[in-house]
Amino acid sequence: MRTLISSAIGAALLAVFAALGSGLISGVHEQTKAPIAAAERAAEAKQLLEIFPDASHDNQLIDDTIMLNANDPLLGLRTPGIGYRARVGSQVAGVILPATARDGYSGDIRLLVGVDRTGAVAGVRVLSHRETPGLGDKIDLKKSSWILSFDRKTLSNPVIQGWAVTKDGGDFDAFTGATVTPRAVVAAVKSAIEYSQNNRSTLFEMPEADES
């Protein structure tokens, strides 16, 4: 009988602690959700401004958004993504497109590709990747300046065959012992520019700030 009572008390105590524990976790989650979202937004805004600096536009990039569909082969997004527009007055001076290279060495490489009205790359930044430290991670601006080699490039400069790594006869350097990662990024950036050209009227000619 005593054993029965003590195991019932044990079970009740366990249930109370479990409830307290999960309450505490969800409380902490609720409290940290807003600051985390704010920090993510600030980090994103910083990257957008690296691509289109303040002097190049007069709108708030982070607020001038356009929804982009998942699974368009040229952007490679696995879920719908958000693009951003840089404006001077009512004219769209450039767009920043999210793009996913699905063929990185270690899976998806998520990028932001800025393209201006003339079709030239304004800048490319890596949002996330799992490439190997010391090899594929040189796509990250914190590790090397390689990603800046896309600046000002267009689909005719270099010519289309040049949109490949040097090992494949193209114009973009690969890294020593790591060709897979830069090959994937070069292809994704080229496709994103193609997307911006194919969807020029939607991306560049919309007068309102956000039709999503």
Ligand X SMILES: Cc1cc2nc3c(=O)[nH]c(=O)nc-3n(C[C@H](O)[C@H](O)[C@H](O)COP(=O)(O)O)c2cc1C
Extract the tokens encoding 11: 């079970």
Quote the least distance from Cβ 123 to ligand X, whole Å.
22
* Alpha carbon distance 163, 150 (integer Å): 10
Q: Are strands 65-68 and 81-88 parallel, antiparallel or unpaired?
A: antiparallel
Residues between 81 and 110 that touch ligand X (CB under 6 A)? 105
Quote the least distance from Cβ 136 to ligand X, whole Å.
3
Contacting residues for 53 by C-beta, under 8 A, at least 6 apart: none
Residue 172 is given by DSSP the state B
Query: Toward ligand X, which CB reaches closer, 27 or 107?
Result: 107
Binding of ligand X at residue 167 (CB under 6 A)? Answer: yes
Are 72 and 99 in contact, with CB atoms under 8 Å apart? Answer: no
Please select the residue that binds ligand X; options are 48, 74, 96, 178, rule is CB under 6 A: 178
Binding of ligand X at residue 62 (CB under 6 A)? Answer: no
Query: Toward ligand X, which CB reaches closer, 99 or 178?
Result: 178
Are 84 and 65 in contact, with CB atoms under 8 Å apart? Answer: yes
Binding of ligand X at residue 116 (CB under 6 A)? Answer: no
The residues that touch ligand X, with contacts defined as CB under 6 A, are 105, 131-132, 135-136, 167, 177-181
